[in-house]
């Protein structure tokens, strides 16, 4: 008897997000994949809440779901955080408002990523203890209470609370209250930590705290850990993107305008290191002693010789502008130590980055990359020699070797033998001349090395008064501009004093000592490192502020990590709906304490994991 294949049975899993930000977590959950037997999960976002209107606009764009702008502070928290009374139109949100933000639907999973500034290590212990940040921290407890009250008659099956790992210490009292509240509403609770980079296969390491609550009556199975994946390198992600600054990539892919001194600092940070590399530099009177920054050129143009190397031939016009006639002088004092954490850190192209935070400047962390794709015009085929046996490239309007492959390796070196074998030869002044013929000097040895130049340079000499290789002061007028004005036939150069001021903001490309461009990540690259977009995708966020965009991106849950978490939670729900209480899987249970918290009835508080066991 022929067996008919079983048809897939699709089950919708609805998810709702509190403190949703721009929607990285929600977008990841929408991409979740889970299957048990012939049961296939389909994830659908039913709403999100955030106080930032710009973030909600982004949320709607990334998820396709309506978001709600809502301030979850109570009145006392608002006064304490803002230092003022709320405006007249402001009101405290209620559980009914939470229910309405989900369009009246009930979620199976609620994901909360409450503000973490008060718990973060980027904030000092003293500032985190101030009333302002304590009020911000209490949003965690209030948000969960509002959620539980919104669906008290039909609770969500799973509730996930995500934050920085330091919350386990700085927010211990609040966490204990949250756990007690969840247990009161019928949930089993467990705590753990994970690395979003390993869960999502990202090019960053991003360790986070995770509290998972399972409704005891609705969800009996274990929760399995998502498979861990190797971290990718920064270059693996950024290498798929267009070069920074390309207009087609949009305003989010522009290079930030940094102070000139910041560009210089970045250029001298060793790739893979941070500001401490700068301690190796020697500074005298505010200037680098061992290095000189000059414009880049070809054929030794503005070249700088190493202190330990020999120079090239000294020519009659040995100037920085026409050869390697400068030197990297190493005689300097040691610079003062920098004391601002990981400031000006530069990531290697083949390494992963650290966690993408709300910071936006290279001076605030390792937010720069040693990009080997140094920009600039590529003079392809300059001075190229075409083999005699090969075809020529396209013949263009250029007429010289510097215009392309317009030279040939001609094997016909045997010039015709004739009486003029001494073509263009020079006869010494003390030697006899060869036979005088009727030809010109190009036909034989009809030229002489005359030691009697009789060229006395003095007043009225045309060569001196014509101003050859002349340089005009910045404060002086130029002479009449002629049709053949060139640097070597008059005063057609200027002493330009316009080096950037230390605090002047600009976009610069400085080729670092390792041959790469040490530059900050663009906003679009940060979004790609957070997996909010694939590297080849285009992204627009609400507003026109890079700082606002970067803060939202830094606060986001990485999309690919959320997708991995959604997959295992979807599997857990499908097992529960299939009536299963245990399933043997190849992946490990998500830390033993979490497994116990999610699968066993435990009196009182469940065991808590101080980390992965």
Whether the Cβ atoms of residue 140 and residue 125 lie closer than 8 Å to each other: no
**First and final C-alpha spacing in the chain:** 50
Active site residue 20: no
**DSSP, residue by residue, 46-86:** EEEEES-HHHHHHHHHHHSS-EEE-----HHHHHHHHSSPP
Which residues touch 385 (CB under 8 Å, ≥6 apart)?
Answer: 405, 407, 408, 409
Residue 150: count of CB within 10 angstroms of its CB: 24
Annotated active-site residue in 116, 196, 351, 433: 116
| R_g of the chain, CA atoms, integer Å | 35
Which residues touch 607 (CB under 8 Å, ≥6 apart)?
Answer: 190, 593, 596, 597
User: What 8-state DSSP symbol labels residue 166?
Assistant: T
Tell me the residue length of the chain: 613
* φ and ψ at residue 77, rounded to 5 degrees: -65, -40
194 DSSP β-pair partners: 208
Whether the Cβ atoms of residue 496 and residue 474 lie closer than 8 Å to each other: yes
Could you tell me where the beta strands, DSSP code E, fall in 379-534? 385-386, 407-408, 426-427, 447-448, 471-472, 493-494, 505-506, 517-520
Q: Tokens for 358?
A: 């709300």
Collapsed DSSP state (helix, strand, coil) of residue 443: helix
Active-site residues: which are they?
A: 116
């Amino acid at each position: 008897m022929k067996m008919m294949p079983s048809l897939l049975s699709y089950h919708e899993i609805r998810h709702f997000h509190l403190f949703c930000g721009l929607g990285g977590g929600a977008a990841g959950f929408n991409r979740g994949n889970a299957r048990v037997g012939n049961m296939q999960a389909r994830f659908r976002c039913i709403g999100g809440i955030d106080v930032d209107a710009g973030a909600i606009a982004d949320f709607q764009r990334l998820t396709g779901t309506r978001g709600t702008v809502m301030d979850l502070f109570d009145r006392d928290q608002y006064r304490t955080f803002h230092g003022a009374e709320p405006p007249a139109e402001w009101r405290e949100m209620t559980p009914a408002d939470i229910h309405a933000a989900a369009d009246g639907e009930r979620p199976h999973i609620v994901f909360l990523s409450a503000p973490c500034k008060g718990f973060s290590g980027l904030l000092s212990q003293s500032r985190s203890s101030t009333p302002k940040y304590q009020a911000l921290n209490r949003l965690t407890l209030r948000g969960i209470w509002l959620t539980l009250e919104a669906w008290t008659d039909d609770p969500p099956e799973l509730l996930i609370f995500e934050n920085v790992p330091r919350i386990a210490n700085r927010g211990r009292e609040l966490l204990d209250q949250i756990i007690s509240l969840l247990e009161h509403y019928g949930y089993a609770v467990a705590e753990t930590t994970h690395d979003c980079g390993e869960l999502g296969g990202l090019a960053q390491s991003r360790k986070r705290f995770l509290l998972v609550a399972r409704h005891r009556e609705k969800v009996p199975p274990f929760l399995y850990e998502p498979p861990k994946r190797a971290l990718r390198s920064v270059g693996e992600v950024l290498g798929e993107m267009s070069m920074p600054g390309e207009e087609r990539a949009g305003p989010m892919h522009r290079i930030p305008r940094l102070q000139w001194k910041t560009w210089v600092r970045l250029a001298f940070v060793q790739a893979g290191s941070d500001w401490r590399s700068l301690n190796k530099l020697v500074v005298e009177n505010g200037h680098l002693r061992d290095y000189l920054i000059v414009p880049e050129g070809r054929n030794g143009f503005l070249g700088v010789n190493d202190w330990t190397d020999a120079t090239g031939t000294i020519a009659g016009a040995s100037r920085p502008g026409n050869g390697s006639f400068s030197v990297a002088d190493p005689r300097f004092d040691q610079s003062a130590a920098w004391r601002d954490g990981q400031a000006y850190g530069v990531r290697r192209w083949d390494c992963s980055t650290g966690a993408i935070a709300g910071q936006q400047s290279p001076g605030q962390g390792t937010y720069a990359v040693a990009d080997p794709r140094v920009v600039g015009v590529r003079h392809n085929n300059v001075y190229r020699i075409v083999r005699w046996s090969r075809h020529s490239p396209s013949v263009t309007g250029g007429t010289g070797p510097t215009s392309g492959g317009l030279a040939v390796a001609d094997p016909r070196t045997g010039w015709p033998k004739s009486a003029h074998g001494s073509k263009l030869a020079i006869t010494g002044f003390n030697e006899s001349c060869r036979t005088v013929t009727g030809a010109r000097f190009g036909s034989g040895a009809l030229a002489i090395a005359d030691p009697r130049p009789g060229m006395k340079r003095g007043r009225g000499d045309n060569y001196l008064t014509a101003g050859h290789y002349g340089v005009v002061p910045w404060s002086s007028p130029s002479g009449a501009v002629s049709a053949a004005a060139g640097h070597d036939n008059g005063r057609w150069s200027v002493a330009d004093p316009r080096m950037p001021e230390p605090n002047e903001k600009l976009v610069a490309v400085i080729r670092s000592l390792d041959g790469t461009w040490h530059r900050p990540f663009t906003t679009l690259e940060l979004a790609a490192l957070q997996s909010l977009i694939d590297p080849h995708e285009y992204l627009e966020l609400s507003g026109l502020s890079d700082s606002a965009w970067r803060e939202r991106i830094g606060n986001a849950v990485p999309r690919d990590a959320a997708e991995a978490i959604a997959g295992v939670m979807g599997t857990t729900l499908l097992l529960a709906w299939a009536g299963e209480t245990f399933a043997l899987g190849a992946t490990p249970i998500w830390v033993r304490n979490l497994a116990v918290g999610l699968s066993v009835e435990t009196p009182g508080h469940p065991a808590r994991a101080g980390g992965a066991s």
